[in-house]
Amino acid sequence: MAPTKKDSPLPRPKLLTPQAQKELTQAEKVYQDLRKQAKADDPTPEIYLLSVYAEYGQYKKMLEVIDAMLAKKPGDPKLMELKALAKSKL
């Protein structure tokens, strides 16, 4: 009998090709540059990074970014909605 979702261990991140890994690494560098240039309360760099992670199916990484954003804006309804969406993809 095949394991059910309940029996499965923690979700695995989507497997990436070497090219996709390279692109993801580059996007993370772009994020770091954007973060250095943006004001502390500007969410644009995180939104960029979230969009890249979503494109590559990196939902666990999305949750890490969202949690960091929620630490700055606890209970933000849009962030909570985004977190629920990312969790549903795991």
Domain boundaries, the chain: 45-90
Buried b or exposed e, range 4-40, using 16+ CB within 10 angstroms: eeeeeeeeeeeeeeeeeeeebeebeeebeebeeeeee
Q: What is the pLDDT of residue 10?
A: 47
User: Among candidates 70, 23, 25, which has minimal Cα distance to 46?
Assistant: 70
**Is the pLDDT assigned to residue 38 strictly greater than 50?**
yes
The set of residues, in sequence order, having a beta carbon less than 8 Å from that of 34 and lying 6+ positions away, is 44, 45, 48
Structure tokens at 77: 């309804």
Higher-confidence position of 54 and 4: 54
Give dist(CA 28, CA 10) in Å, integer.
24
Q: What is the pLDDT of residue 15?
A: 83
Q: What pTM does this model have?
A: 0.81
